Chains A and B, each alone.
Chain A
Amino acid sequence: MRAKLAVALALTIALATACNPESDNGDQSEAEGEGAGGQESIVVGLTVSHTGNLTAESTNQFNGLTLWAEQVNDDGGISVGNDNVTVELVEYDDESTDTRVQQLYTRLITEDEADFLISPYSSGLTEAAATVAEQNETVMLAVGAASDSIFQQGFTHVFQIYTPASRYLTGSVDLLQDRFPDDTRIAIVHEEDTFSTDVAEATRAYAEDQGLEVVLFEGYPTDTTDFGPVISRVMAANPQALLGGGHFQDGTTLVRQVAAQGLPIDLLSILVAPSVPEFAQLGDAAVGVVGPSQWEPQVAYSEEAADDADLEWFGPASEDVVSAYEERFGETPGYHAMGGYVSGLLLQHAIETAGSLSPDTVIETLEGLDAMSVWGGMKFSNEEGDHGRQIGHEMVQIQWQMVGGQLERQIVWPTEAQTTEYQALTQ
């Protein structure tokens, strides 16, 4: 009998220890009223994909956020009313999977006492995290999440930094109609995942609205390595433009094989891949390829442009951020990194304008925001079915061009932001 009791006791202790109950400080207390309420620093919590298939993009995004945090702390912190608070970043590895996202964000809120949250990278993970933010009434800035559907789920505490998927390729359609007004036939071929499918369907709807005929609309599995069959079907449909793609892997393969086959089209616009520096590794095949980008280093957003558009400007000038990033991380920032930077910048601006750390006041400020920064325009929808979706930011369309023997990314659309004219494909 005693032996059995002993075993029972041992088991309970062992299991309890294995589960290792966390001590925490209960639920987050609201910071009411003006000023920092006695706080000296704020905690900004997030998860980063240090392992798994989102590692590269997520790390870049986190680097951008880190740069902002370092800069703001060097400057003495965020001013909240009459006080200043420094920023502390707390992050965990979400392993590019949604399994632990909710646990980690709950930990950030209850154990690490995060005052504000940044989303993980990618829409799928952000959806899981947003639920935790919403139920704990903590403000979350969603960066790296382009899905429209997140903002149809009824969240009131989540705000989107990226242009949503529905407006990724609409600029390419506009570009086609502007440069080749007689073209009427486009083909759309997309990776079969949430993001690319959302973009593709919105692009099809937009194109048809604009009077174009979508002669082929098809998805391909994420792991497709050989686009021969797909390209055959494209050629059979005889389009004048090919839009779509998915992520870097399939995008570059598609482009490579399109170049090898010599598709006679006027425009080739592919998601994600062309805005990644490694795209240059394709050499000649990359020339002429267009892609949408949330942001490019040459983009001409500035305080003057904001004045012209009658918008408020916040944050440093584009050149300053780019050079600071280059100095800190040894490479030119892409839009993932800049998105991360801007999420911090926006948070700072919202807090400083609100003069308070209270979530409700900050939300009010964000809802009323209509401004411009290094990132471009920024404005959030206040509609109930849409709350927090980004409606002020536009994608730029970039094109790879051979400039003096060097492959370079140039901005070719919209005309207000372009650095050079679109070059027709030579095949």
Chain B
Amino acid sequence: MPSLDQLSDSVADGVLLGIIYAVAAMGLTLIFGVMRVVNLAHGALITAGMFATFVFSVDLGLPVYVAAALAAIGGFVLGVVIYWVAVHRLLGKPELTTLLATFAISIMLVGIGTAIFSTTPRNIEVAIGPLDAGPVRLQGTKIVAAAISLGLIAALYYFMRRNTPGKKIQAVADNRSAAELVGIPSARMLAQAFGIGTMLAAAAGALIATLFPFTVLRGSVYELKSFVIVVLGGLGNVTGALVGGLILGLIEGIVPLFWAATWVPVVEFGVFVLVLLVRPQGILARAH
């Protein structure tokens, strides 16, 4: 039986990581919610965020969190480009085409990445010590990353609910032709929405890079986590992604206390499949 200390350690850890993973998942679910596209380049964009942060901070000497911000902006720009190149023409076509198109982008990015960076692992050292809060000892970098994540999530909410561009995107998501009728350039809005989604992925990647070592191929692991989170919260449901992220973080933190850690993915994907079969609209959704 794990002790209370162990339990609180794991819960705290799980919550912090869950928030960071939620940022990535929100990017994925936003894109799906707005244009019904499952972005299979999601993992590659997370990796891009990691490597951009590495290059800006370790190679170019910028402070880590500045590098992270630049990586996020780069993620936005890359996302807009991907939208125009691969997604725009295929909206409205069967889902398979956008799945494959974004997958093609993914292997293009990983291909270039491997050619440039090889699969040598990278690591970013951030000099923030641990924080002792009562019985728990928390990694300083995790706290900072989680805090920044919360900031990003708040900014996203403000943007989508209060801001005009955000509302325009909502309008296009709800009814594209009607939005066009009132003069909203729907394609531009969709491109921006896609860019925001990828920006969140890149930002999450940047933050994760401050916590763990990574290689060019690391993105797919986080992409799978994002899928699980998105399904838990309901595809298209941004609030749900936050809840899903916390649930995933808690699963990863608590399951190994009771069973061998090798059962964590079984639980994760078992829950994933079950939720899809039993409640595909997500745990949070009200029955439609």
Contact = CB atoms under 8 A, between A and B. Distances in A.
Chain A–chain B contact at Cβ < 8 A? yes
Nearest to A50: B114
Contacts of B264: 221, 224
Nearest to A219: B262
Q: Which of A52, A219, A221 has the most CB of B within 10 A?
A: A221
A40 B254 CA distance: 65
Given A249-B121, A253-B213, A236 B137 contact: no
Interface residues of A, number: 36
Interface stretch (B1-9, B69-77, B270-278): B1-9
A278 B256 contact: no
Given A229-B261, A233-B257, A278 B6 contact: no
Interface string B175-187: 0000000000000
Contacts of A51: 111, 114
A335 to B, nearest CB: 15
Contacts of B217: 52-53
A281 B13 contact: no
B130 interface: yes
A261 B118 CA distance: 32
Contacts of A192: 262
B238 to A, nearest CB: 24
Given A236-B2, A261-B137, A55 B17 contact: no
B44 to A, nearest CB: 14
A417 interface: no
A209 interface: no
A228 B211 CA distance: 13
Given A53-B215, A253-B213, A233 B256 contact: yes
Contacts of A52: 114, 119, 217
B221 interface: yes
B125 interface: yes
Interface in B202-243: 208, 211-215, 217-218, 221
Interface string B83-126: 00000000000000000000000000001001000111111010
B10 A278 contact: no
Contacts of A1: none
B66 to A, nearest CB: 20
A282 B125 contact: yes
Contacts of A229: 10, 13, 252-257, 261
Contact of B221 (A223, A236, A252): A223
Contacts of A252: 121, 123, 213
A320 B151 CA distance: 56
B139 interface: yes
A92 interface: no
Interface in A242-301: 248-249, 252-253, 256-257, 260-261, 276, 278, 281-283
Contact of B2 (A59, A230, A232, A249): A232
B215 A59 contact: no
B257 A56 contact: no
B114 A226 contact: no
Contact of B122 (A54, A59, A228, A278): A278
B287 interface: no
B260 interface: yes
Interface string A46-70: 0000011111100100000000000
B63 interface: no
A115 B13 CA distance: 56
Given A53-B217, A221-B264, A229-B257, A278 B120 contact: yes
Contacts of B257: 229, 232-233
Contacts of A281: 122-123, 125, 213
A56 B255 CA distance: 33
A277 to B, nearest CB: 9
A248 B9 contact: no
Interface in A181-239: 192, 218-221, 223-226, 228-230, 232-233, 235-236
A5 B253 CA distance: 66
A380 B17 CA distance: 48
A30 to B, nearest CB: 39
Contacts of B111: 51
A33 to B, nearest CB: 44
Nearest to B264: A221
A7 to B, nearest CB: 28
Contact of B6 (A56, A226, A232, A248): A232
A182 to B, nearest CB: 27
Nearest to A279: B123
B253 A228 contact: yes
Contact of A232 (B10, B114, B125, B215): B10
Nearest to A58: B119
A273 B137 CA distance: 25
Interface string A87-125: 000000000000000000000000000000000000000
A226 B6 CA distance: 14
A219 B252 CA distance: 15
Contact of A55 (B13, B118, B130, B260): B118
B121 A253 contact: no
Given A56-B120, A249-B215, A283 B125 contact: yes
B6 A55 contact: no
B121 A278 contact: yes
Given A218-B260, A252-B213, A228 B9 contact: yes
Residue among B6, B123, B125, B137 having the largest count of chain A Cβ atoms under 10 Å: B123
B114 A219 contact: no
A226 B252 CA distance: 8
A221 B262 contact: yes
Contacts of B123: 252, 278, 281-282
Given A220-B256, A224-B261, A233-B256, 7 more contacts: A51-B111, A55-B114, A219-B261, A221-B261, A226-B13, A232-B9, A278-B123
13 contacts: A51-B114, A218-B261, A221-B261, A224-B261, A225-B208, A226-B252, A229-B13, A230-B261, A232-B2, A232-B6, A235-B6, A236-B6, A248-B213
Interface of A: 51-56, 59, 192, 218-221, 223-226, 228-230, 232-233, 235-236, 248-249, 252-253, 256-257, 260-261, 276, 278, 281-283
Closest 9 CB pairs of A and B: A229-B256, A220-B261, A55-B119, A281-B123, A228-B13, A232-B6, A56-B120, A223-B221, A56-B119
